[in-house]
Amino acid sequence: KAGVTQTPRYLIKTRGQQVTLSCSPISGHRSVSWYQQTPGQGLQFLFEYFSETQRNKGNFPGRFSGRQFSNSRSEMNVSTLELGDSALYLCASSGTQVTYEQYFGPGTRLTVT
């Protein structure tokens, strides 16, 4: 099986712009979660989608949004970018609803200047 893929791998944006990141989960996985990882804050949960519905949400402002399509692919959008949004954004898919084992993509490195 192919792993989780994320595009793009690297992105440079200017403060105030918006950005969309894409994630394709492992085939058959219906749960997709997004995380933000920074050196100071570690791995922070953004949200989880299951069957096109947001099932869980972390403590991030409304500028961060996401969606999931019928083929389980997911996108994450950040509007009005701030310098503090610079981070590695990780997507993970899960095929279990009990242990929530997560399979991660390589991440998108976003730099906001």
**Positions that interact with another protein (CB under 8 A):** 4, 33, 35, 42-43, 45, 48, 56, 88, 90, 92, 98-107, 109
DSSP-assigned states of every residue in 4-35: -EEE-SEEEE-TT--EEEEEEPPTT--EEEEE
Amino acid at 46: L
Q: Which is nearer to another protein, 60 or 103 (CB)?
A: 103
Q: Which is nearer to another protein, 82 or 101 (CB)?
A: 101
SS3 for 110? strand
SS3 for 39? coil
CB of 105 to another protein, least distance (A): 5
SS3 for 58? coil
CB of 63 to another protein, least distance (A): 22
Residue 53, token pair as written in the block:
């519905």
Q: Which is nearer to another protein, 60 or 79 (CB)?
A: 60
CB of 65 to another protein, least distance (A): 20
Residue 107, token pair as written in the block:
């991440």
CB of 101 to another protein, least distance (A): 6
